[in-house]
Structure 1
C-alpha cells in the first residue's frame, strides 16, 4: 500500500528538504527510501491469485463465456481491453507506505532510523477493503485497494512518523493521509489513429492500445472495479485479517523491471 492522497493516491508525494529531485536511479551518495508496513505472505498470495484470475477470465472469455462472478459478457470485454495496460506491483512487493522519503543522503539513513525508533505503536489489525482507481473519473492511472479495518490506526502512525522526521528537516506532509495498497499502475493509452504494429511472439501488442473514449474508459474502469470487488467479497474463503507487528525503513533499488526493497531498519510494535 502506498501513501498519502488528497485528490487520489496517484498524486506525487511532497518531498522533504533532504530529498534529491533527480528522477530515475539513485543519485550518487543518496538512498531512495520509504517507511511502510509489510504485508503477510497470505495477502501477497491472495493478491497474486486475484491478478492471475482476472487475466485468466479475460483470456478465456471468448471461448468459454463470461465467468459467473462477472455481471455480463460486455463487462469482460471492457475489462479485457484495459488489462494489457496494467503494470502490476510484483508479488512480494505489496506493502503499505506510511511516508515516502525519496533520495536521502546515505549518511543520514541512520538518523532517520533512530528517529523512527522513538515511535511507540501497537500491532495493527488490517482488513482488506474495496478497490478504487485514481483519478475517479476519466482514464484511470492507478488501481488501489483500501482498508475496511485499520485505516485510523495507520493514519495515526503516519502522523507519528511525520512528526518524528520533522527535526531532521523533513517537511510535514501537506495533505491528509489515506492508507491504500497500490495494486497496479496503468500505462497511458495510445491516442486513436496511431499506427498499429504486428504483435511480437507471446501475443503482446508492440504498441500501446488506442486511447479509449470517455465512455469506453468509464466502462473499463467500472468493469475492473466490479471484477476485483466481486472476487474479494465472494471469495470461497474470506480474506484474513492480518496483524502487522513491525514498521520498516526500506531502501528501493531498480531491479530489472521490478524494484528491490531492502530493509534498512525494522521497528517492532510494542505491546
Structure 2
C-alpha cells in the first residue's frame, strides 16, 4: 500500500483553501486541482510499504514526535514549482516557525532512512499543493493571477501531530485514509536551535 507522513489541516484552513482553489479554477487553466479534503502538509512520501511496517514506522515517528513541541504556521503566498513563470505545480507557501518544521522533517527523514527508506535528495520546501498543471492551456492567465496574490494570507495551523496516511487511486480520484497519529510533546527534549537572526555573532 502507498503511504506518506503528513500533518492534518484544520477544517477552517481547508475551507479557505477550497475557496482559493475555486477562485483559481475560474482562470480556466488546464489544472488537476486537489480537493480541499485531500490537501495535507506532506513531510515524507514513503511509497509502497507492507502492512507489517505500519507499526514500525509509528514507533519511529512517535520517538521523533516526542522530541518536538507543537508550533504555529501561516499559509501565505502563492507560487509554482519549478518556477512561477512556468509552473507544473501550484502551491501555497508556509511561513512562521519554519525552522521548527524543517527540524521535524529532517529528523523524520533521518530516522526513516535507518529503517531502509530512501532519503529524499531534493531540499524540503514547506508548502501545500493546490494543483498540477496538465497542459499549457490557460497557463499564462493562471500565472498572472498567482503573481497578483503572491502575499495572500490563507489561514493558519498548529503543527501538533504527525500522521500516516494510506493513498488509494480510485476512478473518482485519490482517497486518503489516516492509519495512525502521533502527537508532538508539550515539553521539548531536543528541537535544535533557530537560525541566527540579523546582527547575530
Counterpart Cα distance in 1 of 2:72 and 2:171: 34
> How far, CA to CA, are the matches of 1:137 and 1:260 in structure 2?
28
Q: What's the CA shift for 1:129?
A: 2.0
The structure, 1 or 2, with the larger RCO (C-alpha pairs under 8 Å, 6+ apart) is: 2
Unaligned runs of 5+ in 1: 1-30, 59-79, 190-208, 234-238
Give 1:144 deviation, angstroms. Answer: 0.8
* 1:223 partnered with 2:170: no
Q: Hey, what does 2:127 align to over in structure 1? A: 180
CA contact (8 A) 1:39 1:95 kept: yes
Over alpha carbons, which structure has the higher Rg?
1
2:17 to 47, 59, 62: 47
Contact 1:37–1:247 at 8 Å: present in 2 too?
A: yes
In the other structure, the counterpart of 1:92 is 37
Between the aligned partners of 2:142 and 2:42, the Cα distance in structure 1 is 24
Listed as ranges, the matches of 1:132-211 within 5 Å are 132-136=79-83, 139-189=86-136, 209=137
Residues of 1 paired with 2:94 and 2:10: CA distance? 15
Partner of 1:116: 61
1:131: how far off?
0.8
Call closer, same or farther: CA 1:93–1:34 in 2, change over 3 Å: same
Residue 221 of structure 1: how far off its partner (Å)? 4.8
Partners of 1:97 and 1:45 in 2: CA distance: 18
Q: 1:104 aligns with which of 23, 30, 49?
A: 49
Answer yes or no: is the 8 Å Cα contact 1:118–1:164 preserved in 2: no
Residues 269 and 227 (structure 1), Cα distance of their counterparts in 2 relative to 1, 3 Å cut: same
- Structure 1, residues 168-208: CA drift from partner, whole Å, max 9, x if none? 1113222321111101111124xxxxxxxxxxxxxxxxxxx
Aligned-pair CA distance for 1:256:
2.8
**Rounded Cα–Cα distance in structure 1 between residues aligned with 2:55 and 2:173:** 26
Q: Structure 1 CA distance, aligned partners of 2:148 and 2:15?
A: 18
Alpha-carbon offset, residue 35 of structure 1: 0.5
Structure 2: runs of 5+ lacking an equivalent: 187-201
Offset at 1:137?
5.9
Distance 1:178 1:157 in 2: 13
Q: TM-score, normalised by structure 2?
A: 0.82
Normalising by structure 1, we get a TM-score of: 0.62
**Residue in structure 1 matched with residue 179 of structure 2 by the alignment:** 264
SS at match of 2:41: strand
Alignment of structure 1 residues 71-90 onto 2, 5 Å? 80=27, 83-90=28-35
